[in-house]
């Protein structure tokens, strides 16, 4: 069974890395392949190896086709392109726990009826309802909205679309896994009204209970710093955990405890099992009617299922519930079942129901951790002392997850064993039970005690997180080194007595010693990151790296710096930024700069910001952008063309027209980075440094605004490649079509981050320029269709 489930899982995974779905007529092969797999599994023992291989291949094909069929069904429920933008009136139900943000309330919505004639809307969408922002002493106000309510709303929608960057978060995959097939916002003044206070369906009742639990915690603990952690432990609502707290939990390796982990579910199930077993045995009549162990198994499974549903039924909770279900069934049937069979059954059920689970890091870490625990704790001749067993499990999980953690996050906590040794008993055995008891009782003491203990534990974790050697970070390892390291770990963890276990250590070395390929002297690598409506560019030479602008802020704690730029820099092996340029103070260019400065050592900061700007205090060395400044890194020349020193004395000059313009030149090509300069600055450049403006690659000024890219400027630069950074369907209408026409008339190839994702440019030392679009490199079947499929990649200019 185990081999066949692994084959099925491999088929499911293979589908999720495909650029397109197979043709629909392939789905008819699934039933014959399943029958062939069953027949192959029942062939005579003399053909054991052959029939197992054949059955595994058939299971692989079944997993692939099953996942493809489910994906086709889900993608068919799409928002037509012509209904992106117009007002649509809907009737539906608030399907999940509403999430408050700084200025909006976000929630999932089940569409029941579409009132707008001819409009077609997916059945499940995500909406934002914007309220009034906080002003002075007045807090932000939001509409009163509760899970399970039926509403009539007027909305504007768009199809799933997110930023797409190397080693970044795939928002479109996240939406697909949650069956959210459109996103949008509620139109103010659109006649929105509540129709019913509660729709009596099981899924909505569960969400209403989750909302009541969150409200209970918020009321009891008010502004307590770790109230969000208790909410995460009770109902899986992780959004209330601050970015600083997440950083502490990640650096100490206990972040798995701050969600509904399998450990928590197992603990609650075990408590319910023990209590039911004790109470059932007290009645002779009940024991004669049904053995106490079977009754306790039902109680334990029911408790696990209830807790998992209350917590949102994430992958770790699903895996635990399905494993407990298999154990309960085996107990009822009176048949002992191997632990590996239980894990395989859970794996099969998870992927049969949710084939997109393989896209989540939690899936790999959850099943990987349990598999490692089974490897080192089952099949032993004699049971070890409990302390020895605990130490062995900690060693196995810490060592065994290193390849996965480096592949997924490019970092491993070195204090994780000690931190988990303290946090696991405190959180799982004390804080979680107290929290669940507290939300069920009418008095606050259990919740307050849980918070006190959680705060004490977190204080200790903060001290560990602050240690200089708390975490190991490195570049993203090549796939082959990860595979070799996994095999090495498995060999290292084999029982004592297996020969040459030390070979496993040697298999781990390539994971750490294989460095990213370096650039040649005089070569340039330019990455225009997809940060939505904003700008962030990473320029790398052989030994140096420059960040030009830092993208927008998305919220009080979330910005392009910590979500896009820092993960990218870490993954490609940039440990230090030699310099950073913040062209001007607009938030779509400077919003992520503080996060970058806090996470990555930066040699110096160049900007046109005023001296009292908060960003200036964050930099170790800061100076103003002034035209004429030059420097050279590894045979590549960098030059500031704008603004002039005199422009800083002109108080009425707009910040856009004081943007830092950088020219990067190699032996045979040049790149012009122009920030948000407008036609006024373009005229100054034409008057002052016209001979320096010709460039093979141009970052189109001001995202393609109508106030920039004047005809004279475009003709003087005459770019072979014009790059526009803009957000998908942004409210400014960038880029303007008449502006793009000016570049088309010159024969420029136009790339857009909203259509193409991140853009990867390689400028060789001989001047050849190659461009790769990340939406082409990392093409998946759920991504939005390419807006310019005929545009070629990898062509030297």
Phi-psi domain of 229 (left: phi exceeds 0; alpha: psi -120 through 50; beta: other): alpha
Measured in whole angstroms, how far is the alpha carbon of residue 134 from the centre of its chain? 29
CA angle 546, 551, 555 (to 5 degrees): 140
CB 702 within 8 A of CB 655: no
pLDDT digits (tens, 9 = 90+) for 67-78: 999 999 999 999
Q: Are strands 697-699 and 670-673 parallel, antiparallel or unpaired?
A: parallel
Cβ-based burial of 291 (10 A; exposed 0-12, middle 13-18, buried ≥19): middle
The dihedral formed by the CA atoms of 741, 745, 749 and 755, expressed in degrees to the nearest 10: 10
Cis peptide before 728, with omega less than 30 degrees from 0?
A: no
3-state secondary structure of 72: helix
Q: Which of 709, 697, 781 is nearest to 740 (CA)?
A: 709
Cβ-based burial of 48 (10 A; exposed 0-12, middle 13-18, buried ≥19): exposed
What sign results for the dihedral spanned by CA atoms 311, 313, 314, 315?
Answer: positive
Q: Using CA atoms, how far apart are residues 32 and 151, in angstroms rounded to an integer?
A: 46
Q: Which of 166, 17, 13 is nearest to 569 (CA)?
A: 166
Q: Using CA atoms, how far apart are residues 487 and 501, in angstroms rounded to an integer?
A: 11
How big is the chain by its Cα radius of gyration, in Å? 29
3-state secondary structure of 184: strand
Backbone angles phi, psi at 355, to 5 degrees: -65, -15
Q: What is the 3-state secondary structure (H, E, C) of 382-393?
A: CCCCHHHHHHHH
Owner of token pair 């400014």: 732
Report pLDDT for 134: 62
What sign results for the dihedral spanned by CA atoms 88, 93, 99, 100?
Answer: positive
Establish how many alpha carbons lie within 13 A of residue 794's alpha carbon, considering only the half-sphere containing its beta carbon.
3
**pLDDT below 70 — which residues of the chain?**
27, 30-31, 33-50, 133-140, 259-263, 315, 335-337, 379-382, 385-386, 789-797
Q: Using CA atoms, how far apart are residues 330 and 720, in angstroms rounded to an integer?
A: 68
End-to-end CA distance of the chain: 55
Q: Are strands 524-528 and 661-665 parallel, antiparallel or unpaired?
A: unpaired
Q: Which of 60, 315, 47, 10 is nearest to 174 (CA)?
A: 315
CB 677 within 8 A of CB 702: yes
Question: If residue 598 lies in a helix (H) or strand (E), which one and from where to where?
Answer: helix 593-599
CB 670 within 8 A of CB 663: yes
Q: Using CA atoms, how far apart are residues 725 and 702, in angstroms rounded to an integer?
A: 8
pLDDT digits (tens, 9 = 90+) for 289-337: 888 888 888 888 898 888 888 877 776 777 778 878 877 887 777 766 6
Tokens of 638: 């960098």
Report pLDDT for 796: 39
* Residue 288, number of CB atoms within 10 A of its CB: 8
The CB-based long-range contact list for 295-302 (8 Å cut-off, 24+ gap) reads 296/272, 297/273, 297/327, 297/328, 297/331, 297/332, 298/328, 299/272, 299/273, 299/275, 300/269, 300/270, 300/272, 300/273, 300/276, 300/324, 300/328, 301/269, 301/325, 301/328, 302/272
CB 774 within 8 A of CB 753: no
Cis peptide before 643, with omega less than 30 degrees from 0?
A: yes
Tokens of 34: 């399943």
Owner of token pair 């692989």: 60
Establish how many alpha carbons lie within 13 A of residue 94's alpha carbon, considering only the half-sphere containing its beta carbon.
30
Owner of token pair 């809307």: 121
Question: If residue 539 lies in a helix (H) or strand (E), which one and from where to where?
Answer: strand 537-540
């Amino acid at each position: 069974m185990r081999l066949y489930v692994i084959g099925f899982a491999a088929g499911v995974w293979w589908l999720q890395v495909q650029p397109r779905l197979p043709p629909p007529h392939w789905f008819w092969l699934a039933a014959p392949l399943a029958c062939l797999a069953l027949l192959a599994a029942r062939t005579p023992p003399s053909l054991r190896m052959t029939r197992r291989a054949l059955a595994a291949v058939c299971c692989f094909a079944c997993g692939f086709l099953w996942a493809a069929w489910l994906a086709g069904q889900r993608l068919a429920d799409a928002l037509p392109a012509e209904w992106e933008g117009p007002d649509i009136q809907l009737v539906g139900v608030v399907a999940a726990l509403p999430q408050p943000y700084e200025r909006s309330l976000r929630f999932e919505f089940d569409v029941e009826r579409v009132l707008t004639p001819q409009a077609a809307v997916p059945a499940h969408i995500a909406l934002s309802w914007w309220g009034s922002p906080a002003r002075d002493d007045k807090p932000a106000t939001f509409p009163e909205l509760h899970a399970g309510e039926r509403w009539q709303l007027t909305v504007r929608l768009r199809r799933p679309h997110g930023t797409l960057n190397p080693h970044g978060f795939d928002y479109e995959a996240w939406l697909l896994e949650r069956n959210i097939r459109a996103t949008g916002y509620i139109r103010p003044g659109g006649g929105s009204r509540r129709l019913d206070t509660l729709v009596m369906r099981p899924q909505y009742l569960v969400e209403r209970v989750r909302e009541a639990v969150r409200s209970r915690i918020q009321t009891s603990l008010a502004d307590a710093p770790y109230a969000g952690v208790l909410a995460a432990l009770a109902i899986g609502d992780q959004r209330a955990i601050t970015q600083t707290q997440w950083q502490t939990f990640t650096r100490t390796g206990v972040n798995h405890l701050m969600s509904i982990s399998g450990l928590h579910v197992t603990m609650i199930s075990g408590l319910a099992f023990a209590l039911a077993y004790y109470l059932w045995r007290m009645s002779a009549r009940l024991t004669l009617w049904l053995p106490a162990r079977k009754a306790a198994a039902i109680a334990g499974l029911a408790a696990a299922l209830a807790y998992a549903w209350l917590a949102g039924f994430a992958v770790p909770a699903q895996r635990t519930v399905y494993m407990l279900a298999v154990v309960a069934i085996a107990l009822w049937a009176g048949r002992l079942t191997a632990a590996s069979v239980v894990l395989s059954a859970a794996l099969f059920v998870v992927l049969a129901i949710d084939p997109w689970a393989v896209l989540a890091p939690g899936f790999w870490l959850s099943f990987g951790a349990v598999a490692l625990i089974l490897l080192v704790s089952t099949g032993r001749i004699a049971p070890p002392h409990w302390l020895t067993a605990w130490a062995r499990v900690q060693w196995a999980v810490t060592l065994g997850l290193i390849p996965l953690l480096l592949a997924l996050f490019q970092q491993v906590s070195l204090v994780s064993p000690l931190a988990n040794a303290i946090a696991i008993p405190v959180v799982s055995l004390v804080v979680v039970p107290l929290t669940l008891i507290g939300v069920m009782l009418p008095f606050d003491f259990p919740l307050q005690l849980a918070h006190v203990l959680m705060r004490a534990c977190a204080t200790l974790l903060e001290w560990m997180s602050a240690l200089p050697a708390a975490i190991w970070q490195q570049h993203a390892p090549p796939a082959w080194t990860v595979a070799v390291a996994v095999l090495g770990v498995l060999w290292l963890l084999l029982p004592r007595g297996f020969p040459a276990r030390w070979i496993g250590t040697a298999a781990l070395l390539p994971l750490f010693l294989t460095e990213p390929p370096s650039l040649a002297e005089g070569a340039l690598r330019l990455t225009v990151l997809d940060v939505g409506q904003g700008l962030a560019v990473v320029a790398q030479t052989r030994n140096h790296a420059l960040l030009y602008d830092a993208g927008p802020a998305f919220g009080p704690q979330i910005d392009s710096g910590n979500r896009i730029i820092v993960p990218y820099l870490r993954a490609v092996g940039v440990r230090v930024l030699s310099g950073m340029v913040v062209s001007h103070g607009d938030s779509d260019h400077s919003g992520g700069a503080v996060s970058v400065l806090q996470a990555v050592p930066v040699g110096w900061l160049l900007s046109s910001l005023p001296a009292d700007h908060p960003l200036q205090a964050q930099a170790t060395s800061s100076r103003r952008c002034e035209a004429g400044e030059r420097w050279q890194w590894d045979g590549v020349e960098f030059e500031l063309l704008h603004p002039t020193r005199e422009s800083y004395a002109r108080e009425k000059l707009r910040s856009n027209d004081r943007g830092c313009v950088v020219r990067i030149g190699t032996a045979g090509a040049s790149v012009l980075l122009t920030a948000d300069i407008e036609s006024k600055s373009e005229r100054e450049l034409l008057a002052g440094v016209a001979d320096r403006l010709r460039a093979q690659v141009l970052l189109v000024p001001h995202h393609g605004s109508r106030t920039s890219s004047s005809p004279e400027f475009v003709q003087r630069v005459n770019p072979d490649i014009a790059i526009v950074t803009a957000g998908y369907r942004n409210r400014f209408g960038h880029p303007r079509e008449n502006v793009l026409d000016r570049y088309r008339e010159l024969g420029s190839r136009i790339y857009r981050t909203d259509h193409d994702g991140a853009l990867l440019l390689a400028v060789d030392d001989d001047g050849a320029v190659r461009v790769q679009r990340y939406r082409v490199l990392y093409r998946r079947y759920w991504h939005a269709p390419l807006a310019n499929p005929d545009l070629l990649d990898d062509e030297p200019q």
